[in-house]
Amino acid sequence: ARLIAPQLNEVTPLELVRLTQALASSEVCHYTLLSQISAQVQVRVQQAGCGQVIPGSCPDFAQLMELAEAFAQLKFQDYSFF
């Protein structure tokens, strides 16, 4: 987690989904990292809403749903994400 967190802004949306799903599958409840993933996704969605996003960096709706499912599986509650 220490190595991943500083580079979250460089990770693709698919990699964010896979990372979160991997944490959920292994039942690793690293809430600090999950909070950072959530914040990164929220920033990307907000930038897309303002038209300031780099193409391909914003998760699509299906990826957002997959992230939400992984968060729910880990019982991670970030109400600003939903």
Q: What is the pLDDT of residue 31?
A: 87
pTM: 0.83
Task: Collect all residues with Cβ–Cβ distance below 8 Å to 64 and sequence separation of at least 6.
Answer: 41, 45
Task: pLDDT band for 19, please (50, 70, 90 cuts).
Answer: very high
Q: Is pLDDT above 70 for 81?
A: no
- Give the range among 11-15, 20-24, 39-43, 52-56 with minimum mean pLDDT: 52-56
Q: What is the pLDDT of residue 1?
A: 66
Q: What is the pLDDT of residue 82?
A: 55
